[in-house]
């Protein structure tokens, strides 16, 4: 923390949906692609990294423990060199659950949060972060019996939960940090085509005009960036009071995402990559750039931090 506090510029990178452990096919080698991605992130020498989940392709079958154990070994082989160089802040995705039971205990053990809850707040110099657990918990579900794992894929932010109460308390406290980031696996702004993947408590719904539960809280707290993934495409959405960045990943998760954009979308790209950010305290400016695996800049922008309403 101290090394950043003395610096004028803080740099961080967002990655998501690594899904390490997929078997190479005739068409591509997914894990090799993730290795290349992490090598590029390391070469950037960021101050810290935010990872919004789906670290393995797990949580599909009840009898996949050996497979998932191997996936996590591969995950550590690829990601640990980066973790030894800078902090990585994690938020869980749907594939990070363990079946049966849909527990996040195994995930927490593998991301350095053994025995702790999956959601938390952290600070790094000028940057404050909240990592959310947006898994929708509606009971157990057998994908083999019904031929789909749709409910396992659902995101939500229902009111009245311990996390909701904690976040309300946390966001109401004064903050010193100049920039406020909230990260969760699912987007708030998305194509109408994929509204089925999130609960109304989480999504901004253009059909009903409802904002859900999370978005008004983030706006009230003057959050600067909401970082997410899940759909495996790059998409930046600029709501008048919140910038959402969905970082890209390998293979689009749902067809039709690009054709039917949400109304706030200002940039998009199918390619896997990472998003890098820099906050310059001198100019009080956040700079964002989405980078494809080949190094090409897919999107670039700047934004002013909204500033804390109740700075401590």
Q: What are the residues binding Fe ion (CB under 5 A)?
A: 54, 93-94, 230
Shortest separation between residue 93's beta carbon and Fe ion, angstroms: 4
Peptide bond into 100 cis (omega under 30): yes
In this complex, which beta carbon is closest to Fe ion, that of residue 175 or of residue 230? Answer: 230
Shortest separation between residue 246's beta carbon and Fe ion, angstroms: 11
23 Cβ neighbours under 8 A, 6+ residues apart? none
Shortest separation between residue 169's beta carbon and Fe ion, angstroms: 28
Shortest separation between residue 179's beta carbon and Fe ion, angstroms: 26
In this complex, which beta carbon is closest to Fe ion, that of residue 127 or of residue 149? Answer: 149
165 Cβ neighbours under 8 A, 6+ residues apart? none
Q: Number of H helices and number of E strands within the chain? A: 7, 13
User: What is the SS3 assignment for 182?
Assistant: strand
In this complex, which beta carbon is closest to Fe ion, that of residue 54 or of residue 74? Answer: 54
Measured CA to CA, the distance from residue 233 to residue 255 in angstroms comes to 11
Answer whether 245's CB lies under 8 Å from 227's CB: yes
Of 258, 134, 147, 252, which Cα lies nearest the Cα of 193? 258
In this complex, which beta carbon is closest to Fe ion, that of residue 46 or of residue 93? Answer: 93
In this complex, which beta carbon is closest to Fe ion, that of residue 46 or of residue 155? Answer: 155
Shortest separation between residue 231's beta carbon and Fe ion, angstroms: 8
Number of residue whose CB is nearest Fe ion: 230
């Amino acid at each position: 923390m101290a090394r950043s506090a003395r610096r004028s510029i803080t740099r961080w990178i967002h990655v998501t949906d690594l899904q390490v452990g997929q078997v190479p096919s005739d068409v591509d080698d997914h894990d090799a692609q993730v290795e290349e991605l992490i090598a590029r992130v390391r070469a950037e020498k960021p101050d810290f990294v935010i990872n919004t989940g789906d670290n393995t392709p797990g949580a599909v079958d009840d009898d996949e423990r050996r497979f998932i154990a191997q996936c996590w070994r591969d995950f550590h082989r690829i990601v640990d060199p980066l973790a030894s160089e800078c902090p990585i802040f994690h938020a869980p995705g749907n594939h990070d659950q363990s079946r049966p039971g849909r527990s996040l205990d195994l995930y927490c053990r593998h991301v350095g949060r053994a025995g702790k809850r999956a959601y938390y707040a952290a600070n790094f110099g000028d940057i404050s972060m909240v990592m959310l657990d947006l898994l929708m918990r509606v009971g157990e579900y057998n994908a083999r019996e019904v031929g789909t794992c749709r409910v396992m894929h659902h995101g939500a932010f229902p009111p009245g939960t311990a996390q909701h109460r904690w976040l309300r308390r946390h966001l109401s406290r004064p903050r010193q940090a100049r920039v406020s980031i909230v990260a969760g696996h699912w987007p708030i702004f998305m194509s109408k085509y994929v509204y089925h993947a999130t609960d109304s408590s989480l999504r901004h719904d253009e059909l009903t005009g409802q904002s859900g539960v999370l978005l008004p809280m983030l706006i009230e707290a003057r959050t600067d960036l909401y970082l997410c993934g899940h759909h495996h495409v790059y998409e930046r959405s600029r709501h008048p009071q919140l910038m959402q960045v969905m970082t890209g990943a390998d293979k689009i998760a749902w067809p039709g995402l690009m054709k039917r954009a949400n109304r706030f979308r200002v940039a998009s790209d199918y390619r896997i990559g990472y998003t890098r950010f820099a906050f310059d305290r001198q100019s009080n400016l956040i700079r964002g750039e989405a980078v494809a695996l080949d190094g090409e800049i897919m999107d670039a922008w700047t934004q002013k931090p909204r500033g804390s309403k109740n700075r401590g």
